[in-house]
Structure 1
Amino acid sequence: MTHHILKASCQTVHLGGFSHELEPALVVNSGDSIDVETYTGFYIYDKAPPEFLTAELLEICQHLPTKRKAGPGPHLLTGPIYVNGAEPGDVLEVKLQDISPRLPVGFNAIRPGWGALPQQFTEPRLRFIPLDLDKGVAQFPNGSGISIPLKPFFGILGVATDETNRSSVPPGVYGGNIDNRELQAGSSIFLPIFVPGALFSMGDGHAAQGDGEINVTAIETSMNGTIQIKLRKDLQLSAPLAETPTDIITLGFGETLDQAFEFALQQMITFLEHFAGLSAEDAYVLCSLAVNFHITQVVNRPHKGVHGMLPKSILPKAIAL
């Protein structure tokens, strides 16, 4: 096993989407670990305060090659990472070992036509929010005394498909813009693989976010992370699955919350059938008794997200994923 360092640069990031045609930023073997540097703010950097900007971010924003612009989304992603031996039908396990904001400031933006209430909040707004990295909090509104704990995570964890220039905005069975705040350090995500090498990318750092991400952004900031990549040929998944220290999480996506919920529920039933040996009916009942379903996000059109959380503490023995 090898430990890699993947810095963000014009050669190792891509903008706006996923594509199997992108040149890999790094090639790894199963079991390797990687320190990954990510940046955010490509489209607002010219309005940012000095503490948000670094020489590396400015270089990316001003000189990113056209070939690294992979789709119409706003996100800067680091990758793709090519995993030797990965083939369609395999599963990529990504262990999130460490996640930390790399700047003392983040931003939140209201974008016209987006968010949960686009008819009510129609004016564009951009706010930069200081982060107290020593205390692990952000105060908003400034001077209000309201203190928000920083719980950093990556909004986007995803793999490429055979679709060229897929937007970074909607999540799906490939992962992508999941925006699930449960996926903090100590968690793992399991992603179905669709193309050789998997071509995994990550970014969209969030210092803090509520379930729903209702105005279309969290506290967006540049983020460092340490991950471990494992190739799982022993698993078969049709949609992403996640595990935290306390829960098994199924992820559902759909054009409505009803569709997203039903998808997450069906995935949880399937999980309980395959990994806990329950009948479909018993799994359905258990979901009503003990599984907690949350709105992940309502703003990443065309797909909203719902996730189901199965507490591992109720199981008679640990499930080995």
Structure 2
Amino acid sequence: MDTKFAYYQMVRHILKATKETVHLGGFSHLLPPALRVDSGDTVDVETYSGFYVYDKAPPAFLTPEFVDICQNLAPERKVAGGPHLLTGPIYVKGAEPGDVLEVELHSISPRLPVGFNAIRSGWGALPQKFTQPALRFIDLDLDNNVAEFPKGSGIKIPITPFFGILGVATHDEHRSSIPPGYYGGNIDNRELQAGARIFLPVFVSGALFSIGDGHSAQGDGEVNVTAIETSMNGTIKLKVRKDLHLKAPIADTPTDIITMGFGNTLDEALQNAVSSMIDFLERFVGISAEDAYVLCSLAVNFRISQVVNSPQKGVHGMLLKSILPKNVL
């Protein structure tokens, strides 16, 4: 093995979240890269959440860097109308349209001992019943890895951190960070914890990957619009896969293959998730479409990812890797 090449492939970068390296509200291929990496490089990345609530936040939620972002983010880094602060974009050398970007999630951890949850008027699964906006800051017990909610109730929620948004740029100049889609984005899939990988189709040179929307805990559905929204640290590995060609994101965990479907209704999202799983089983496992359809009914669990990222709801299908005859990704 060429030792120089082996060393080259093991480069590790640090991408801190500052007003020069984050963007607000969406994705755009016009944004200059915050970092350039080679395929196979690892990045220690910082993210912040809560741009629009920082002025109501307790001291533990605030750092000087975050306040600087909230007060001094340049207009050109405010891409669209979404509420999310994203770190990036990261330019991955060699990534070209038609390729796939593999994002391996090595570690994910809250960077502050507090997160927030917000009910927004007109949003959520029950907007007619819960009409008034409400903002709650929720303490995180990072020593015991739990969050008590409501405070004093004795109800202890396990902290299971993940990034709600993992996405690449498309040819849209100003794409909101709210809806997910074929580019990834605001997937809000709680299965994508440390140890998982997500595979994203590439649409522009360099992929222009951005990450954020950290969640310390979330139930499937994310029904009141938000999780425990948390500023988050992570370590990720980015790899260009020229041997894969995908129309929509797929993922895997140590135990499952995950396909994703998005649509304006849950029915449509479910149909797309099933169709994606059938396509996966045809292409990567080598069985017929009809047999794949039957297998989906026998062995795939379809779950609601989220119902609140208007106009796209999300459903994901989970297939146990242990039932497959070989590793396929």
**Could you say which residue in structure 1 is the equivalent of 2:23?**
14
Find the partner of 1:121 among 125, 130, 134: 130
**Could you say which residue in structure 2 is the equivalent of 1:37?**
46
Letter in 1 for 2:185: G
- Provide the C-alpha distance between the structure 1 equivalents of 2:281 and 2:50, rounded to a whole number of angstroms: 40
* Structure 1: runs of 5 or more not aligned: none
The 5 A counterparts of 1:103-122 are 103-122=112-131
Is residue 146 from structure 1 mapped to residue 159 from structure 2 by the alignment? no
**Could you say which residue in structure 2 is the equivalent of 1:173?**
182
Is residue 268 from structure 1 mapped to residue 277 from structure 2 by the alignment? yes
Is residue 50 from structure 1 mapped to residue 59 from structure 2 by the alignment? yes
- Provide the C-alpha distance between the structure 2 equivalents of 1:29 and 1:67, rounded to a whole number of angstroms: 26
**Could you say which residue in structure 2 is the equivalent of 1:219?**
228
**Could you say which residue in structure 1 is the equivalent of 2:94?**
85
**Could you say which residue in structure 1 is the equivalent of 2:267?**
258
**Could you say which residue in structure 1 is the equivalent of 2:4?**
none
- Provide the C-alpha distance between the structure 2 equivalents of 1:72 and 1:133, rounded to a whole number of angstroms: 32
SS at match of 1:253: strand
SS at match of 1:43: helix
- Provide the C-alpha distance between the structure 2 equivalents of 1:184 and 1:6, rounded to a whole number of angstroms: 20
**Could you say which residue in structure 1 is the equivalent of 2:106?**
97
Find the partner of 1:59 among 62, 68, 76: 68
Q: Deviations over 1:299-320 (max 9, x none)?
A: 000000000000011112222x
- Provide the C-alpha distance between the structure 1 equivalents of 2:32 and 2:80, rounded to a whole number of angstroms: 15
Letter in 2 for 1:23: P
**Could you say which residue in structure 2 is the equivalent of 1:307?**
316
Is residue 28 from structure 1 mapped to residue 22 from structure 2 by the alignment? no
SS at match of 2:181: coil
Cα-Cα RMSD: 0.5
Question: What's the offset of the Cα at 1:65?
Answer: 0.4
- Provide the C-alpha distance between the structure 1 equivalents of 2:93 and 2:325, rounded to a whole number of angstroms: 36
- Provide the C-alpha distance between the structure 2 equivalents of 1:318 and 1:158, rounded to a whole number of angstroms: 25
- Provide the C-alpha distance between the structure 2 equivalents of 1:131 and 1:17, rounded to a whole number of angstroms: 28
TM-score, with structure 2 as normaliser: 0.97
- Provide the C-alpha distance between the structure 1 equivalents of 2:301 and 2:133, rounded to a whole number of angstroms: 34
**Could you say which residue in structure 2 is the equivalent of 1:317?**
326
Q: Deviations over 1:88-129 (max 9, x none)?
A: 100000000000000100000000000000000000100000
- Provide the C-alpha distance between the structure 1 equivalents of 2:327 and 2:208, rounded to a whole number of angstroms: 31
Question: What's the offset of the Cα at 1:223?
Answer: 0.1
The percentage of aligned residue pairs carrying the same residue is 74
Letter in 1 for 2:156: S
- Provide the C-alpha distance between the structure 1 equivalents of 2:40 and 2:100, rounded to a whole number of angstroms: 13
**Could you say which residue in structure 2 is the equivalent of 1:135?**
144
Question: What's the offset of the Cα at 1:214?
Answer: 0.2
> What is the count of residue pairs matched by the alignment?
320
Q: Deviations over 1:249-279 (max 9, x none)?
A: 0010000000000000000000000111100
* Structure 2: runs of 5 or more not aligned: 1-8
